[in-house]
Structure 1
Amino acid sequence: MEAKKRSMMAGSAVAAGALLLTTVVSGCGGSSGGNTSNSGAASGSKSQGPVTISMIYDFAGKEFPKAGNEVQRAIEKYTNTKLNIQALPSTTYAQKIPVMVASGDLPDVIAGDPHAQGSSWLLNAIQQGQFWDLTPYIKQYPKLFNINPVILKNAEVNGHLYGLPRVRPLARNVTFVRADWLKNLGLQVPKTLNQYLDMLRKFTHDDPDKDGKNDTFGASVTTAFATTVDSFAVAFGAPNNWEVVNGKFIKDVDTPQYLQGLEFEKKMYDEHLVNSDSAVIQRPQWEGYFFDGKAGSIGNTSNTGDAYLASLKQNNPKAEITAFSALKAPNGKIRVPAGPGYNGELMFPKSSVKTEAQLKQILDFFEKLDERPMANLLAYGIEGKDYTVKNGKAVINPNSDYMDTVGYPYRYTLGVVDPTTYAIPAANLSAIDKLTNKLVEENDKYAVVDPTYTLTSPTYQQRGAQLDKLLTDANTQFLLGKITVQQWKAQVKKWHEEGGDQIAKEYAEAYAKQQK
Structure 2
Amino acid sequence: MSRRRFLASATGAALATASFPLLTGCGNGGADSSAQGAANRAVTLPDHVPFTGVTPDLPASQDGVLAGYFAYPTPVRGIEGDPGSGGEGITALVNIFDPVPPAAGDNPFWQALNERLGTELSLNMVPDSSYMQRLSAVLAGGDLPDLVEIRLDQPQRAQLLKAQFTDLTEHLSGDAVRAYPFLANIPTESWRTCVYNGGIYALPTPRPSVGNIMLCRADLVEERGLNPEPADFAEFAELCAGLTDERAGHWALGFGSAGPLSTWAFLMQMLGAPNEWGEQGGEFTSWFETEEAKQAADDLARLVREGVFHPDSFAATSDPRIWFGIGKTALNRDGAAAWDLLTHTYDISVGAVVAPAYEGGGDAAHFAGGATFALTALKKTDDARRVEQLLSLANWLAAPFGTEEHLFRTYGVEGEHFTFENGVPTLTGAGETQTRLPLEYLTDGPPFLGPGDETRVRAQHAYQERVVPGLVRSAGSGLYSDTDTTKKGVIQRLMQDTLNQIMQGNKPVSDWDDAVRDWRNQGGDAIRSEYEAEFARAN
TM-score, normalised relative to structure 1: 0.78
Could you tell me which residue of structure 2 aligns to residue 8 of structure 1? 22
Match of 2:474 among 450, 463, 466: 450
Residue 420 of structure 1: how far off its partner (Å): 6.1
Q: Distance in 2 between matches of 1:507 and 1:256?
A: 22
Residues 1:86 and 2:97 aligned together: no
Alignment match of 2:166 (pick from 132, 140, 148): 132
CA 1:420–1:291 in 2, change beyond 3 Å: closer, same or farther? Answer: closer
Partner of 2:93, secondary structure, is strand
Tell me the SS of whatever aligns to 2:221.
Answer: helix
- Cα distance in structure 2, aligned partners of 1:5 and 1:134: 31
In structure 2, what residue type is equivalent to 1:373?
A: E
Matching of residue 163 in structure 1 with residue 198 in structure 2? no
Q: Give the secondary-structure state (helix, strand or coil) at the position aligned to 2:510.
A: helix
* Aligned CA distance change for structure 1 residues 366 and 419 (closer, same or farther; 3 Å): farther
Percent identity over paired residues = 21
Shift of 1:169: 0.2
Q: Do residues 101 (structure 1) and 131 (structure 2) align? A: no
Q: Is the 8 A contact 2:204 2:372 kept in 1?
A: yes
Cα 1:47–1:108, aligned 2, differ >3 Å: closer, same or farther?
Answer: closer
Distance 1:344 1:124, change over 3 A: same
After superposition, the Cα gap between the structure-2 partners of 1:78 and 1:6, relative to the gap in structure 1 and judged at 3 Å, is closer
Q: CA deviation at 1:246?
A: 0.8
Unaligned runs of 5+ in 1: 12-42, 208-212, 314-319
The answer to whether structure 1 residue 187 and structure 2 residue 226 are counterparts is yes
CA contact (8 A) 1:244 1:451 kept: yes
Q: Does residue 437 of structure 2 align to residue 409 of structure 1? A: yes
Contact 2:93 2:145 in 1 (8 A): yes
Compute the displacement of 1:97 (Å).
0.4
Matched, 1:339 2:379: no
Pairwise CA RMSD: 3.4
Instruction: Please point out which of 55, 58, 62 is paired with 2:95.
Output: 58
TM-score (norm 2): 0.75
Contact kept? 2:94, 2:149, Cα under 8 Å: yes
Is the alpha carbon distance of 1:242 and 1:46 closer, same or farther for their aligned partners in structure 2, counting shifts above 3 Å?
A: closer
Match of 1:97, SS state, is: helix
State the partner residue of 1:199.
Answer: 239
Aligned partner of 1:153 in structure 2 is 192
Q: Provide closer, same or farther for how the CA distance between residues 344 and 489 of structure 1 changes in structure 2, counting only shifts above 3 A.
A: same
The amino acid that maps onto 1:339 is: G
| Alpha-carbon separation, structure 2, partners of 1:273 and 1:489 | 26
The verdict on how the C-alpha distance between 1:413 and 1:230 changes in structure 2, with shifts beyond 3 A counting, is same
Partner amino acid for 1:203? L
Q: Residues 71 and 282 of structure 1: is their aligned pair in 2 closer, same or farther, counting only changes over 3 Å? A: same
Alignment partners' CA distance in 2, 1:440 and 1:97? 36
What does residue range 41-80 of structure 1 map to in structure 2 within 5 Å? 51-68=88-105, 69-80=107-118
Question: Residue 324 of structure 1 aligns to a residue in which SS?
Answer: strand
8 Å CA contact 1:56, 1:109 repeated in 2: yes
Is it true that 1:356 corresponds to 2:387 in the alignment? no
User: Contact (CA 8 Å) 1:224, 1:278: kept in 2 or not?
Assistant: no
Give the Cα separation in 2 of the matches to 1:231 and 1:282: 22
Match of 2:525 in 1: 501
> 2:342 corresponds to which letter in structure 1?
Y
**Gapped regions of structure 2 (runs ≥ 5):** 1-11, 26-79
* 2:414 corresponds to: 383
The alpha carbon displacement at 1:297 in A equals 2.6
Q: Secondary structure at the match of 1:334?
A: coil
Give the letter aligned to residue 218 of structure 1: A
CA contact (8 A) 2:18 2:336 kept: no
Q: 1:383 to 1:394 in 2, by over 3 A?
A: farther
- Once the 2 structures are TM-superposed, how far is the Cα of residue 240 of structure 1 from its aligned partner? 0.9
Letter in 2 for 1:324: A
Q: Is the 8 A contact 1:166 1:415 kept in 2?
A: yes
Which residue identity does 1:362 align to in structure 2?
L
Aligned to 1:299: 333
Q: Distance in 1 between matches of 2:322 and 2:181?
A: 43
